[in-house]
Amino acid sequence: MRLQASPPRITVVGIGADGWPGVPERLRELVLAAQVVLGGRRHLEMLPPGPGQHRQVWPSPLSEGLVPLLESLAGREVVALASGDPMVSGIGTTLVGLLGADAVRVEPAVSSVSLARARMGWSAEGCAVVSLVGRDPRVVLRRLAPGRRVLVLSSGAATPATVAALLAGAGYGESRMTVLGDLGASTESRLSTTSAGWLAAPPEQVPALHVLALELAGGPGLGVLAGLPDDAFEHDGQLTKRDLRASALARLAPSPGEHLWDVGAGAGSVGIEWMRAHRACRATAVEADSGRAERIGRNAGRLGVPGLDVVTGRAPDALAGLVAPDAVFVGGGATRPGVLDACLSALRPGGRLVVHGVTLETEQLLAHAYRTHGGELTRLAVESAAPIGTFTGWAPARTVTQWALSVPVRHDLE
């Protein structure tokens, strides 16, 4: 979303844990000369008196109050205060998204991420960063892999206990957790233990401002490529099996920032794997059965993508009003009148559609769609070794007909 009317020009000034004394003189002068200063209460209380200057705490909730606030400041000189580097999961990123890069000037301090890496001796390319500020903490679970290093931007003093419980519950109780408190301040502190150790003997005090450094230790991770084991998902049999799922996702081709509809989602496996492909991938799972819809939510949280949107309803009616998709997977209900047409019409140029069917009726529908629209029509037969008495033989699964279509991009010639 962008503001439509004359947005204010804003300078965002990063402040380190050392507070106002650590702000360079030229930026102090800039802050004190502004007509309006925005920031958290903690930041605003750091400032010396500024006669005639309007100081405004960020609205809460920020998502609802920020746009009206910015609209009311049009034409005024505005400075916003932020912690560390405002472009690291900070207000700077939000303001650029609303106002555009030309309307926002960012003056960063050293970020807490940079300080944490320095204290731990970790290179930038050797660790991942996860923000839990305003986010479901289960996103940490997507990062699980033995030997991996992760910096967690905590939302408060309770974050380490929450993360410790998640890690221990996932079999990563021996992971080392280091709480780096008040980085860059005279009160800087360091506390280190394992996630199991934290749960057994939680510290009496945890600094509210800290970065949590994780050195993960546990069983093999699930990997990042499509085709998680079927037993990674809780299901009642309505599941797109591993080999078929990998084939579908290869054709759906998840890319950062894209949105998927998983229609007739069953256990939600396709939407979940789509979101696991990249942290910026988004998905909506549409499932008519309320029990399965609840199960999808549990699967998504356990596999580190709690942001999966689950809609309980039957397509095509349940598709109305959803965020437009870049790709659509139909795992069930393709023969229901209007479903295929609704999915095709929702796709933009360059979008991808994959439909699976196991019945003759669905196969006939997909053969007709293939003749009409083109694409790929494939029959997928998977056999697995299984005991036959004292011997071993092949046990075939149901053959699946897969129709895959990429909507062409038209280049208009002038």
Residues near 141 by Cβ (< 8 Å), separated by ≥ 6?
Answer: 166, 170, 301, 302, 303, 304
> Residue 411 pLDDT more than 70?
no
Between 8 and 298, residue with greater pLDDT: 298
3-class DSSP state of 343 = helix
At 360-378, the pLDDT tens digits run: 999 999 999 999 999 999 9
Q: pLDDT band at residue 2, thresholds of 50, 70 and 90?
A: low
Q: pLDDT band at residue 185, thresholds of 50, 70 and 90?
A: confident
According to DSSP, residue 196 is labeled H
3-state helix, strand, coil in the chain (%, to 5): 35, 25, 45
- Going by C-alpha positions, the residue among 283, 210, 296 that lies closest to residue 249 is 283
At 153-181, the pLDDT tens digits run: 999 999 999 999 999 999 999 999 999 99
- Arithmetic mean of pLDDT, 295-309: 97
pLDDT at 4: 52
Instruction: Read off φ and ψ for residue 325, nearest 5 degrees.
Output: -90, 155
At 245-292, the pLDDT tens digits run: 999 999 999 999 999 999 999 999 999 999 999 999 999 999 999 999
Q: How far apart are CA 372 and CA 247, in angstroms?
A: 23
CA distances from 70 to 7, 35, 39, 79, 410 (A): 7, 14, 13, 12, 39
Query: Residue 149: in which H helix or E strand, if any?
Result: strand 149-153
